[in-house]
Structure 1
């Protein structure tokens, strides 16, 4: 499960990549002013996303990566709005609950204006209201600016919209230095349109077209000016659309008509996609707000591909297809909407590696880590064009296939995927096990690739008790758990498909791995498993949240599970907001580190699901409570990618991590997956049944209603209520022959 692609630690953007174990990876996210000091708003649709400030502007300058991005290229790097040559004052900025639109309400400061025959006059503050409404659709950003005069006098207003496009590659925008760039083409300016373009070193032209309505009074390659005369109470509307790599030479609709038509389409599409999911409603209205935001973020990040829905990892840095992240998100959402899992499996199967390519860290059967479309990826300046440098995506792919079959009973889909599953299993045994010892290891084959290839892929995330970095090939503990779960899942799928002898082989291999792993990795004096074995097969004697993932995989004996759970819920691990990646007391513990002491919501969700599997529902509920409480302090109730691991203080919220992505898909899916963990929720498609295994409700939830639970073509709505420490269940609606089973 992983941080998508590289290590956004707080290191200078000019740091060099090195094979040495003490050097960071070469593509960091700088932490100057990107996300840490300003409140930013993000929008996304398909392969287009935007990062805007509170006023709806796109700032441009050193250390600022705001912009409108399409396929990893910044197509708009500057956007500003002024009224009579002055920036308006912010009243408020609101992202609609369904993430469809960003609205910014602004007003004027005291202005000296040219009022025609009256000459220069003063316009007092707060007499003009400016409302900017923006949304994204396909390859275009649409904006409507409404300006209304609340003065008792008519006013002549000059509205300027400034713009610019640097066509920076996303990696360049976030801090990676380039020695050469392509060339900017000469702008083409018409009455209401400006075309900006860039000819890349990859011999591709990338272009941005801006259209305005009404026709500006003055338009050049940097500014559109509108001269407006507004009577008292009168309003004026100005429309702008910014199209990235537009395919049509002359759009059919004018910008005003296109704005309204596309807005209706955008809202309808979001409504239709999210309607597939089961709905969650509770007695806690704040929790309801947080859950609605979770669902909205999930479906904003889901991109419809020919293979089906695919959740992009996060905005801004990871708005593309990642293997590990999408798989984990699909697992978290499987009870809500299994079509996401099917889309992920189909896409990853189509992009499964079919040959060896050391530059891409690819080997036959390996599952994708990341896809990039920008100029730097096309030229090989970054290795992520089609990159396979994750050790866990392949077993996680097989795990997801097994869980999808268990959730849906869709044997036909698994039969179609079976050749890909077999190739993934072959990779695990042949290429994943580099030294033939029965364990899966990793070591990058490309000097520019990721040094660490588990979900904690920071350069310093795998180390020994004294803080020395582990040298590879490295065998991570949780990867062995994923392989175990993958082989058991493949055995179950094989039996459903009639491959009985193959299933028996896989069951035997899983049993062998379980014994080998528990013999090799267990540290009895620490009460947990080593985070990894280094290249000399020495255990890295470090406690970590990685061990919690082993509970989810089911590879841990029950007596050891008790010790792991106890450790994870102890004060050194549990911050009060969640479980830290590395507990206090370890050599490299730092609550501000990306992977060595921070709290990741998705990490906690997987651990909680594992706790629930072993019967530790109360502990899972504590994790649930901590993360929900953290969401109370988050902007829009949105759990970020991660936050710092400082201990919870009375009356204070969690400490933000400065460059955390928000929204992030697996963070958005965390609260829904914690609902599943608390309720012990599972599905039986063959028996058309929904099971609640010893459900618990955390203290902040007295009642919970799950709408539209579907299995085997039937549906049910279920109400749960906490009564004297237990949970009572009532089916309040049913469609089809569905059973709801409560095990107390």
Structure 2
């Protein structure tokens, strides 16, 4: 049988150049400290994509060419379990040679990638659907720039390390970079068969694919060269899939009557499994890909709280890790003080060299009270006082830091001011430089006291009081209770804006309110600090059109001095922020408002392929239009993926108290379009219980489907 042969040319004539990053869809895989961001073709283009390990991009460009042409794209996806990134491609018409030629679409090319053991595995499978064999010239162009994550994000460096000449052998090419931190970083590209030619930037192959027959090539990218093979690919794929299934099986599960809503729940759970790394201290959700694929304090605490009612083991892992990395000394460069909880940690060259303070950075004023708040909530959810005893020294140090910080303010408020110019100017969850402002748009002088941080501190004081009471330390319990009550009184006195019937965003260093209506107040409601009447007034305003775009609550009210729906923090919509607001709104009796917010976020998720981004633009919802994406949002992001579970808990009104062996369900509401919802395998201690929520006419009721344990769990249903 005759072969069709397409020869290599001297210079690639690329028919389809890689698109600019803002116009292409990117696909993400992650495994512990390694993550991959590729385009739909399965290529890396050296923009915001790449293969990263420990905050360093080891593979920056990676392009597949057939006869010096980029193949034609059919489709691309990430598997439902987030293990594989798959691209389906086909050939362009192959040039006429003699009396034969291969028409377009004769070859199906499937590129399937996965990550395991800090390595990227790829299988490139060809299937020839034509009636004659085809000899295919394949080219792979590659490079590794070994740029630090902050360089990829745009940070300029006056000097960089050096790269050696590539080390080439029969079936692999190894690139090495020697950083200014004296560390060697490597990228080895290995093949299952020897290329026709191989150098430090290109591998070429020429192989025959028989008529109606397959052909497979295996590639690995890692720190060391190891000859790729079908066996290694299959073995690593099996391990990766097993590990992902194990993470997804952890905790209680939800089954909803609506298929689309169930799809959102399943995708969110899969994304959380993708982002969760098994550290020596337990499971820990990394913040998001690509920019925040590392342990963050605030993000992990909030994510763990979102999942606490379903999977308390995540909270345990977060608390253990953060306690281990609690600050022990003063560093203005790192904004560290004894007892403070970490904001983020990085492992790249720039952090190692202290070009930036983020190797372990403590510039978050809210992370420490959130740490204590989560510990108190974990104890109530699980009754696991043995773990709290292990954690107690770290909790005492954290509480002492909160008190010490508050003592610097005449009213006892927690406040922040960065130690050095290299640190974050704003140190709450809205940490962009322009996110905190006065009503006239001017920037406040520090130290700044944020409204939601006072709520976190209030709840931290109460948590310490409750834990101390459980430990039978009544004197300590009374002390923390008094601190909580004093802080509550001060917030009501200083933050409440009577003319607005709302709380101020912040107080500046002179005690002047930043009289801006912001979603931060929803977090204050979540903590339960406001008096009932004021809390209800604030909750009602959060549901008004100036806040609620129809897709969710904006970070600041429309019409504010710095309002911009396309900004990062001044008018955009953050799903985790909406979830915290919904929990606060439900706490003050606006249960239908929580259902409304869940519906809007669910409909937004449907437009984003059931994967909520870190944030999206805060434009008003218009008929027949989708929400507007924020171009550089992390996707997936842990607290965005976790938002559905917090929103659902707010609607169901479910609260689990293992210490009292009690489950309370208050004024349950169901998501729009859902008539039946089951929460299976809620566990604490030796107890396991299944609860079903059922819509009956205009009412929602709940009942116990099954329970196991040494004695019955009390379920208090308050309709």
TM-score (norm 1): 0.92
- Alignment of structure 1 residues 44-63 onto 2, 5 Å: 44-60=30-46
CA distance in 1, matches of 2:120, 2:708: 41
Per-residue Cα deviation, 1:216-260 (whole angstroms, up to 9, x for no partner): 2322221222211121111111000111x34xxx75x75322111
CA distance in 1, matches of 2:209, 2:493: 80
Deviation, 1:66, is 1.0
CA distance in 2, matches of 1:67, 1:588: 35
Match of 1:210 in 2: 189
CA distance in 2, matches of 1:409, 1:138: 36
Match of 1:159 in 2: 138
The runs of 5 or more residues in structure 2 that have no matched partner are 1-18
Note closer, same or farther for the CA distance 1:473–1:237 as it changes in structure 2 (3 Å cut): same
Deviation, 1:556, is 0.4
Deviation, 1:34, is 7.4
- Alignment of structure 1 residues 480-629 onto 2, 5 Å: 480-629=454-603
Segment drifting more, 489-498 vs 722-731: 722-731
CA distance in 2, matches of 1:391, 1:144: 47
CA distance in 2, matches of 1:86, 1:432: 64
Give the conservation status (yes or no) of the 8 Å contact 1:432–1:442: no
- Structure 1 residue matching 2:475: 3-state secondary structure: helix
Deviation, 1:712, is 2.5
CA distance in 2, matches of 1:66, 1:119: 42
- Alignment of structure 1 residues 133-148 onto 2, 5 Å: 133-148=112-127
Deviation, 1:738, is 4.5
Note closer, same or farther for the CA distance 1:432–1:447 as it changes in structure 2 (3 Å cut): farther
CA distance in 2, matches of 1:206, 1:434: 45
Give the conservation status (yes or no) of the 8 Å contact 1:433–1:441: no
Give the conservation status (yes or no) of the 8 Å contact 1:327–1:396: yes
User: Aligned match of 2:91 in 96, 103, 108?
Assistant: 108
CA distance in 2, matches of 1:349, 1:563: 38
Note closer, same or farther for the CA distance 1:512–1:108 as it changes in structure 2 (3 Å cut): same
Deviation, 1:735, is 3.0
Note closer, same or farther for the CA distance 1:383–1:121 as it changes in structure 2 (3 Å cut): farther
- Pair 1:236-2:203 in alignment: no
CA distance in 1, matches of 2:693, 2:151: 50
Match of 1:272 in 2: 246
Per-residue Cα deviation, 1:46-101 (whole angstroms, up to 9, x for no partner): 000111000100013xxx12100011100000111111221111111011111011
- Structure 2 residue matching 1:280: 3-state secondary structure: strand
User: Aligned match of 2:628 in 649, 655, 671?
Assistant: 655
- Alignment of structure 1 residues 321-340 onto 2, 5 Å: 321-340=295-314
Match of 2:10 in 1: none
Give the conservation status (yes or no) of the 8 Å contact 2:218–2:228: no
Deviation, 1:261, is 0.5
Match of 1:65 in 2: 48
CA distance in 1, matches of 2:164, 2:468: 57
Match of 2:366 in 1: 392
Match of 1:417 in 2: 391
Segment drifting more, 610-619 vs 234-243: 610-619
Per-residue Cα deviation, 1:351-370 (whole angstroms, up to 9, x for no partner): 00000011100001000001
Note closer, same or farther for the CA distance 1:120–1:396 as it changes in structure 2 (3 Å cut): farther
Deviation, 1:430, is 1.2
CA distance in 1, matches of 2:20, 2:315: 33
- Pair 1:684-2:657 in alignment: yes
- Pair 1:74-2:57 in alignment: yes
Match of 1:5 in 2: none
- Structure 1 residue matching 2:44: 3-state secondary structure: coil
Give the conservation status (yes or no) of the 8 Å contact 2:539–2:584: no
Segment drifting more, 223-232 vs 666-675: 223-232
CA distance in 2, matches of 1:120, 1:448: 68
CA distance in 2, matches of 1:717, 1:104: 40
Give the conservation status (yes or no) of the 8 Å contact 1:34–1:659: no
Match of 2:108 in 1: 129
Match of 2:75 in 1: 92
CA distance in 1, matches of 2:351, 2:536: 46
Deviation, 1:547, is 0.7
CA distance in 2, matches of 1:532, 1:382: 28
CA distance in 2, matches of 1:111, 1:568: 60
Note closer, same or farther for the CA distance 1:35–1:725 as it changes in structure 2 (3 Å cut): farther
Deviation, 1:119, is 5.4
Note closer, same or farther for the CA distance 1:57–1:431 as it changes in structure 2 (3 Å cut): same
Segment drifting more, 526-535 vs 272-281: 272-281
CA distance in 2, matches of 1:511, 1:35: 51
Deviation, 1:436, is 4.6
- Pair 1:306-2:280 in alignment: yes
- Structure 1 residue matching 2:538: 3-state secondary structure: helix
- Pair 1:699-2:672 in alignment: yes
Note closer, same or farther for the CA distance 1:98–1:433 as it changes in structure 2 (3 Å cut): farther
Pick 1 or 2: higher relative contact order, CA cutoff 8 A, min separation 6. 1
Give the conservation status (yes or no) of the 8 Å contact 1:689–1:738: no
CA distance in 2, matches of 1:436, 1:535: 11
Match of 1:713 in 2: 686
Give the conservation status (yes or no) of the 8 Å contact 2:129–2:211: yes
Give the conservation status (yes or no) of the 8 Å contact 1:361–1:388: yes
- Structure 2 residue matching 1:344: 3-state secondary structure: helix
- Alignment of structure 1 residues 390-469 onto 2, 5 Å: 390-469=364-443
Deviation, 1:330, is 0.5
Deviation, 1:433, is 4.2
- Structure 2 residue matching 1:675: 3-state secondary structure: helix
- Pair 1:643-2:643 in alignment: no
- Structure 1 residue matching 2:408: 3-state secondary structure: coil
Question: What is the RMSD computed on CA atoms of the aligned residues?
Answer: 1.5
Segment drifting more, 729-738 vs 382-391: 729-738
